[in-house]
């Protein structure tokens, strides 16, 4: 076994999260990413609020888990000030020929298609039906997700954790979203709040949010997003997130800290150099790291090779073993204390 359960990882300072990407709806790639990073020992996988994406990630996790391995938490990311946009399928059933074997109906994973057309409330825009209509009658239409429908989507997704992306000054929309999410909060393992920006604005904003979160029934974590100063690639990109962690650990409100945005293979060294993580029993200042672009880019050659061969990555051990080895090196997890 590679490391510890998610809640222990937060406490020990070795929490590792994979960010699949809020707009990443490549279901095959998400399944493969979830498989690789679950095998590598990640504690949380962060995906878009899309049931198809959540299902794809869960598929990869289930295929990857070794006997006795604690499953990573499935996190869904939301924005507080812009409604997530989705697409919906649409066609006019009056144009369908009577003898059509109706492959659209058969392929829809949520039975949203009937002889009357697409049930818009049920369709979540996965796009599968568009490709199978022999006459090309089905089109996609952009659709703005109302806040009330967001709750329905989350009920389908049943995430272990939620993340709210916010920015300094957005306390009103943050409060509105937090109020909407109230029915879900008691069921969550963690509520993450992702924010970045200049420390002079970020720290007072986090204190404002702390006042809202401290009374909630779920633990919260501050995800410090250093992305504005980075591109996820080189050695220098790790500094933005670490600088935020240093500032918030000294002047910010209580709560778990996790760095993100620009996190790469150099970040752990930087965190250790600044005394934000370290060996021993003492509670570290930083709970862990979230890997986005660096994690996806690292294993993309093996994902692409598996897709070219036509099956999920884990069905090709020659590719999968190398990808997992690369992912383990990136996560730089400590050995399991129980091993």
Question: Nearest approach, Cβ of 56 to ligand SF4 (angstroms)?
Answer: 13
- Residue 53 binding ligand SF4, by CB under 6 A: no
Question: Nearest approach, Cβ of 121 to ligand SF4 (angstroms)?
Answer: 11
- Residue 65 binding ligand SF4, by CB under 6 A: no
With contacts defined by CB under 6 A, name the span among 22-30, 121-129, 257-265, 301-309 that binds ligand SF4: 121-129
Binding residues with ligand SF4: total (CB under 6 A)? 24
- Residue 304 binding ligand SF4, by CB under 6 A: no
Rounded CA gap, 154 and 180, in Å?
12
Binding mask 124-143 for ligand SF4 (x = CB under 6 A): xxxxxx---x-x-xx-----
List the interface residues with ligand SF4, window 137-176 (CB under 6 A). 137-138
> Quick one: 70 or 127, whose CB is closer to ligand SF4?
127
Question: Nearest approach, Cβ of 181 to ligand SF4 (angstroms)?
Answer: 24
- Residue 108 binding ligand SF4, by CB under 6 A: yes
Of the candidates 256, 266, 261, the residue with the CA atom closest to the CA atom of residue 288: 256
- Residue 91 binding ligand SF4, by CB under 6 A: yes
Question: Nearest approach, Cβ of 111 to ligand SF4 (angstroms)?
Answer: 8
- Residue 113 binding ligand SF4, by CB under 6 A: yes
- Residue 112 binding ligand SF4, by CB under 6 A: yes
Question: Nearest approach, Cβ of 139 to ligand SF4 (angstroms)?
Answer: 10
Answer yes or no: are the C-beta atoms of 238 and 270 closer than 8 Å: yes
Question: Nearest approach, Cβ of 48 to ligand SF4 (angstroms)?
Answer: 15
Q: Cα angle vertex 21, ends 15, 24, to 5°?
A: 145
For 112-119, the CB contacts below 8 A with 24+ separation are 113/89, 117/90, 117/91, 117/92, 117/93, 118/88, 118/89, 118/90, 118/91
Candidates 44, 75, 104, 244; binder of ligand SF4 (CB under 6 A) is 104
Question: Nearest approach, Cβ of 25 to ligand SF4 (angstroms)?
Answer: 11
With contacts defined by CB under 6 A, name the span among 36-44, 89-97, 213-221, 323-331 that binds ligand SF4: 89-97
> Quick one: 25 or 38, whose CB is closer to ligand SF4?
25
Residues in contact with ligand SF4 by the rule CB under 6 A:
89, 91, 96, 100, 102-104, 107-108, 110, 112-113, 118, 123-129, 133, 135, 137-138
């Amino acid at each position: 076994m590679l490391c510890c359960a998610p809640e222990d990882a937060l406490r020990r300072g070795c929490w590792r999260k994979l960010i699949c990407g809020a707009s990443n709806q490549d279901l095959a790639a998400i399944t493969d990413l979830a498989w690789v990073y679950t095998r590598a020992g990640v504690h949380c996988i962060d995906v878009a609020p899309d049931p198809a994406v959540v299902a794809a990630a869960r598929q990869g996790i289930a295929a990857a888990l070794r006997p006795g391995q604690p499953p990573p938490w499935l996190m869904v990311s939301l924005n507080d000030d812009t409604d997530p946009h989705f697409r919906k399928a649409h066609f006019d059933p009056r144009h369908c020929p009577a003898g059509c074997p109706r492959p659209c109906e058969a392929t829809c994973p949520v039975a949203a298609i009937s002889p009357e057309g697409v049930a818009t409330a049920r369709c979540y825009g996965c796009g599968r039906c568009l490709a199978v209509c022999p006459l090309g009658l089905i089109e996609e239409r952009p659709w703005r997700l109302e806040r009330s429908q967001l709750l329905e989507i989350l009920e389908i997704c049943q995430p272990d954790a939620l993340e709210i992306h916010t920015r300094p000054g957005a306390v009103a929309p943050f409060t509105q979203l937090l109020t909407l999410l109230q029915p879900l909060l008691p069921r969550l393992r963690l509520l993450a709040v992702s924010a970045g920006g200049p420390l002079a604005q970020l720290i007072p904003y986090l204190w404002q949010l702390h006042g809202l979160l401290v009374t909630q029934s779920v633990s919260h974590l501050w995800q410090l997003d250093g992305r504005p100063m980075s591109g996820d690639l080189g050695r220098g990109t790790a500094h933005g997130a670490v600088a935020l962690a240093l500032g918030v650990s000294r002047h910010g409100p209580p709560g778990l800290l996790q760095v993100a945005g620009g996190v790469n293979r150099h970040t752990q060294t930087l965190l250790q150099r600044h005394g934000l993580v370290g060996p021993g029993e003492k509670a570290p200042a930083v709970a862990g790291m979230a890997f986005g672009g660096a994690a996806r880019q690292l294993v993309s050659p093996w994902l692409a090779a598996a897709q070219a061969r036509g099956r999920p990555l884990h069905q090709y051990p020659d590719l999968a073993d190398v990808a997992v080895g690369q992912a383990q090196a990136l996560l730089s997890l400590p050995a399991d204390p129980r091993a």
